[in-house]
Chains A and B, each alone.
Chain A
Amino acid sequence: MTMSNRLRLSTILPAIALILVSCGGTTSGGTASSVSAATFGSKEPSFKPMCTPAAGKQFKVALIIAQGGLGDQSYNDLAYSGFQRAKTDFSVVGRVIQSADIVSQGQAIVQQAGQANFDLVIDLEFSTYDAVKAAAPSFPNTQWMTPNFTSLAANDTGYLFNEQDGSYLAGALAAQVTQDSKVPGITPSKVIGVIGGVKAVGIDKFLVGYAQGARDIDPSVKVLVNYSNGFGDPAKGKQLADAMFSQGANVVYQVAGGTGTGVIQAAQSANKYAIGVDSDQDAIAPGHVLTSMIKRTDFAVYDSINRLACGKLKGGETINLGLKEGAVGLSQMKFTRNAIPSKYLDKVADLQQKIIDGKIKVWNTITQGTPSWFTS
């Protein structure tokens, strides 16, 4: 029972080899559903060519899909939509590489992608980054792109998102809403909650930003913190969230993947609020997802192809994307906007501007470790 499912799977499906789909410049083969990801308050990220691409030159670009696959209505679909967008704006021959078991096949896939002479390989799967680090130097004519990670090689460009900034805004909104009985379903309290998938700096980055946003609104607001120790157990997510609601929380932020769907359902059945993550999850339980902390992976993908086409993709550097670029931020709150008093939204917009202007610095656990005021 402690064996990871991934491990069990890999023992059972070793023969399911990689599936290569969508060859050539057509748009066939993708099953990605459309993912809406426009952010609140801030402008849309700029999906505009940086230059007038030189005529005649065609670029070969591969997109390696991560665990979850196309159709996850989240990370992969979002990245894929940025890929599609870039294909219409630039002269790009795109290829999507999908595998039934990317984790165990990762090394082989990365190696094959390198040998295929692509101009750019965008690798969405975190677990293959060791392989990218090892392989990239052997293929100097290929540029690599690794989102959510720093540059791994002289020909790899890393993209980092300032998720802490978006989480800060989520915390600031939650801390205001939880105290207001005029908002439907709220029993005023100074308690909010957050559930992380595992205790790790990459997850705590979200949690600490959220707690800091809440503190800056009202230091007496208590932020309940818990971890589900897994990303695929929605029943546990529901139970953890229920425990927080019964401890007085009105809003619980989920940073726990598939476990988080249980958090959202808990909010729906308790008539409280959840906060979604990564993609716009507001529609999963309309009216019960206060907002979603969105990460524009599509923009990172588009941006890397944009740079490639304009000769500006140098490799060896890490690009930071944040509120300023519109690459992280809160959702448009289509279903909750009218229920939230506008002064709270104004406050959030104000804080957003302050972060962009550098007047507020949000804690980054990746570079700064865990702050002393954060207890989990």
Chain B
Amino acid sequence: MGGLVNRQGGIVNIGLEPMMLVGAFTAVVVSAQSGNPFLGVLAATVAGALLGLLFSWSITRLGANEIVAGLGLNLLVLGFFGYLLPTAFKIEGTLLPAGLVGLPKVEIPLVNQIPGLGPILSGHDILTYLSWLSVPLVSVFLYRTPLGIELRATGANEEAARAAGVPTLRLRDFSTVVAGAFSGLAGAQLSLGVVTLFNKQMTGGRGFIALAAFYFGDARPALTALGAVIFGVFEAAGFRLGSSGVPSQLVQMLPYLVVVISLTLVAVRRELRVRERARAAAA
């Protein structure tokens, strides 16, 4: 959802992955120091947002290419952890500090009794629920609030928006900060929700899957969420197929294959629509 807001604001953010990683790390360190996982989540959000702001400034103020800056951020963050972990924490693999507390799982009364659906809908950490909630919230924000509409205008045509008096630079910064905050949350969910540890490879391409999801959904919240669910389903199916005799490399490729196929379909559909419109205009 964060990347989506960013995209609507006109920035293709390939820095989601390192922002997640920073979030995951911050969450672990702060949670371990304070003994409170929620403080860890808060710190992860702030860290992601700050990184987003820096990233955005390099693009909006210094005129850096968003892809180059994004690639740079990927390399920078990985290199940073490659240096920090052995020097400051004397480890290179997994960071598992003493006193680290993970996020509690929340059971929703009644819902968890529904046969079949119960374990799917209930028993997650709070960030998972928050991610679901973010879909309608982001949708309302983008389409029903003045700020959201201005943001979309900025993304659609920055010069026209600026001419209309919209503070486009600040809006683009804002959208990247949102992307950073959401990525930080996603990282915290990985390092405090899914598992309770930090590892510099732990995001494992998930930030890029998010990128594919909002491309799939054409940067619209509901469709993007659908894309994310489809990828998730294929990933889970892959995990099960892998232990029933199908080569694991093949099945774990499934979500990525689905990304390629779906993006192709999206492009074909758009192309057809453009041609149709051209034909209608000509007629």
A contacts, CB < 8 Å to B: 1, 5, 8-9, 11-13, 16, 31, 67-72, 74, 100-101, 193, 199, 224-227, 229-230, 232-240, 243-244, 247, 257-258, 261-262, 265, 284, 375-376
Contacts and interface: CB of A to CB of B under 8 A. Distances in A.
B199 A71 contact: no
A70 B197 contact: no
A233 B201 contact: yes
Contacts of A235: 190, 194-195, 202, 204
A-B interface, 8 closest residue pairs, ranked by CB to CB distance from nearest: A232-B201, A12-B79, A224-B243, A71-B90, A243-B239, A1-B205, A227-B248, A233-B204
Contacts of B240: 243, 247
Interface string B70-100: 0000111011001100100011111010000
Interface of B: 17, 74-76, 78-79, 82-83, 86, 90-94, 96, 190, 194-197, 199-202, 204-205, 208, 235-236, 239-240, 242-245, 247-249, 252
Given A69-B92, A100-B86, A8 B243 contact: no
Given A9-B79, A229-B248, A236-B204, A261 B197 contact: yes
Contact of A257 (B86, B93, B242): B93
Contacts of B196: 265
A67 B92 contact: yes
Given A12-B75, A262-B195, A376 B200 contact: no
21 contacts: A1-B205, A1-B208, A5-B82, A8-B78, A9-B78, A11-B75, A31-B90, A69-B86, A69-B90, A226-B248, A230-B201, A230-B204, A232-B199, A232-B201, A233-B204, A234-B197, A240-B242, A243-B239, A243-B243, A261-B195, A265-B196
Nearest to A74: B93
A261 B78 CA distance: 20
Contacts of B199: 232-234, 258, 261
Contacts of A1: 17, 205, 208
B96 A261 contact: yes
A360 B82 CA distance: 45
A8 B75 contact: yes
B93 A258 contact: yes
B236 A234 contact: no
Contacts of B90: 31, 69-71
A232 B91 contact: no
Given A100-B82, A100-B86, 18 more contacts: A8-B74, A8-B79, A9-B82, A12-B75, A67-B92, A68-B93, A71-B91, A100-B83, A199-B247, A225-B243, A226-B242, A232-B200, A235-B202, A243-B239, A258-B201, A261-B94, A262-B194, A265-B197
A236 B156 CA distance: 37
Contacts of A238: 194-195
Contact of B91 (A11, A12, A72): A72
A69 B91 contact: yes
A243 B91 contact: no
